[in-house]
Every structure is written in C-alpha cells, then in structure tokens.
Amino acid sequence: MAERRTARDLLRTIRRIQKITDLTVLLESVLHEARAFVEADAGTLYLARDGRLFFSYIENDTLFPEGNPKEKYVYSENSIPIDKNSLAGYVASTGEALMIDNVYDIKSNVSYSFNPSYDKLTQYKTQSILVVPLMKSDTVVVGVLQLINRKDRHGDVTAFNADDRLYITYFAEHAADAIEKADLSRQMVMRMVEMAELRDPCESVAHARRVGDYAVELFNRWAARHGVPLHERILKKDIFRAAAILHDVGKVGLTDAIIAKQGEFNEAEKALMYRHTLFGARLFTNSRSIWDRIAYEVTLNHHERWDGSGYPGHVKDIFADDIAFGPGKKGKEIPLSARIVAIADVFDALTSERSYKKAWSEDQALEFLQEHAGEKFDPELVQHFIDIRDVLHAILKQAQQ
C-alpha cells in the first residue's frame, strides 16, 4: 500500500476537484479522491434532497475491482430518510461526523444503527467506517460522504484515525462548495436545453440528459480501451457531458415551419434543417477554451455519417449568410466526440416514444446500430456501445422511474 498522505497532498487533491465543473464527474471524483486519500476499500456518496439522502455514487474495490458503471445509475434513485436512525442519516441530521471502528459493535446508547442488508446481499463485510457531512458554508448539508474499511499497508482492514477524520472533514467542506458551483453550472446548461425544448418538444431535457449519460459512458469505455490516462479521462468527461447535452441547442434558431414539419423534407427544407448544426456551433467559437472546442465539435458534427452521407459537411464559413454545404465528412475526419454523440443520440431517439412512433426495445436499437456500423456509425464505437449494454439498460431504467 502507498504511504499515508500529508496535508500538502490534501491541498493538491482539493485543487484537482475544484477544477471540475461537471456535476456528475465531480461527484464521482469526490468519492474516488476521498477513498484514495485514506485508502478506504469502499465508499458511498449521498446527495440530500427533499428530506432524504439519495445514493449518488458507490465504489467498492473488493466487490468491483475494475469498477461497475451501471451501479451508479441503479442506485441513484434509491434513498434513505434524513433522520437519526441510520449512520448517514444521523450525520446529515446533525452535521456531525461519525468514526466507528466496528459497525457490528455499536454501543446501544446511541440512536443510529448499521443496516447489514447490503453485506448480507453481497457477502461483503463492513467493519470500520468514517461518515462526514458535505456541508456548505451556510451550514446547509448537501450530502454525506461515507468511507468504508480503511486498509493498512498489508491490505488488512483497520480503524480510521483522528488524522483521517480531520483531513476528510476538511476535504468535504471544499467538496461541498465545489458541488454547489457545479450544480449551478449544470442548471445553466439545462436551461439552454430548455430553450431548445421550447422550439422542439422532441429535444427534451430528459433526452438531453440521457444522451449525455450514454455519451460519457461510451467515451469512458473507448478511452479505457485506448489507454487514456485516468486524469485525462476525467478532464474530458467533465467537458464532454455538457457538450453532449447541448448537441441540438442550435434548434433554437430554426423556424416553426421546419420544427413542426412531419414527413420527408424537400431539398430547400433540408438546407434549413441542416443550419441548426451551424447555429449551435456559432455559440462555441472560443478556440482557446477546451470546453468550447468540444462543444463546437459536437454541435457542428453529430449528424455527420461514417460513410460521408451526413450533414452539414465541409462548410467554409459557418457565419456566412449564404451557406454552401460541402461534401460530408467521412470516417475519422469526423471528431471522436461527434461520432460518440451520434450513436448516443440515435440510440435514445429509437428507444424513446415520440408522437409519431412507439419506443423501440433496447435490443432493436442496438441491432439497428450494428446493422449500420461502418455506414452511418463508427464501427469500433458501435461495438464498444454494445459491450456496455448493461450500463445502457441501467440508464434507461433509471429514466423510467
């Protein structure tokens, strides 16, 4: 095991999470960084809402040594009440941290108790635990960070100590502030989607969220298979989700006649519809910002097709009044970000019910992607997408709850 970390290491860790702007990526990183800092085998991050604590992220190196992406979607709508009966509920209720050497030996003169149901279900043995509130400066608890089974240098479970409690409590204070800021950023992104929804009901907030989830999981799979370092994956995921969510924001610039059109478009109408990719790209032209660069790639190119049959193709000037749509981009000429979002967007459109069609099954949608791999879609990415079908299923089931 690594040597215990210092206060200087803690400050570096805090600086890393403060750079993350996407709420989902931040929550995942907060739990992972806290666990790594005190070498905890497992952990749970809860968010507080409407008097309850919702499971936001879980990690467990013993049960899921390579991670288990679907679990974060399965558990996110499960919750426990904020009261003094459970460990996490007590911490959220009182704002006090708890540090327990053995959860199966809690003294009887306290209100809280440990629920062993998860241990029984998974055959996992929880022993030591450290639970701290995620509390904003105004004393409002936004969530709870729960760390389980501290490991010593031999890999054996041991108790958390006073330094662990001090460091993680301090870390949690900064994490809560970062979460509040990231939540505000997410709200601004979703308001942009709501503007697009006013123009096109099919481009709903729910659709945009799912496309963001699918796209990030597909990117993570691709990045892991291509040996992209974890720190770079976190940076790209942070930016990528927002870009995927905003993929069709350019539809705010379309006319009612085009938005409401049912059936086939004639050539003139197609040219007008194609413009929404340009309208979206025009919002993200700051080339010095990696956030803008990825959002630009996605909004402009997510309707391009692997065989070059997509749109808008090569356009010399996206700000020109008289737009000339060139030949479609082909293969890896299309940015990776756009190739990923194209798959996520089509999958969600197929599995969603619309006024003009019923929802396809997940199997039917995946078969469609496979049939058109190498034609409409990047064949390697389609295979990666199929390989994470359990995660896709969890995202879809969560959306239906």
Residues designated as active site: 251
Tokens of 310: 């997509």
CB 287 within 8 A of CB 323: no
CA 146/CA 115 separation, integer angstroms: 14
CB 213 within 8 A of CB 397: no
Among 92, 112, 9, 115, which Cα is nearest to 46's? 92
Cβ neighbours around 273 below 10 Å, total: 19
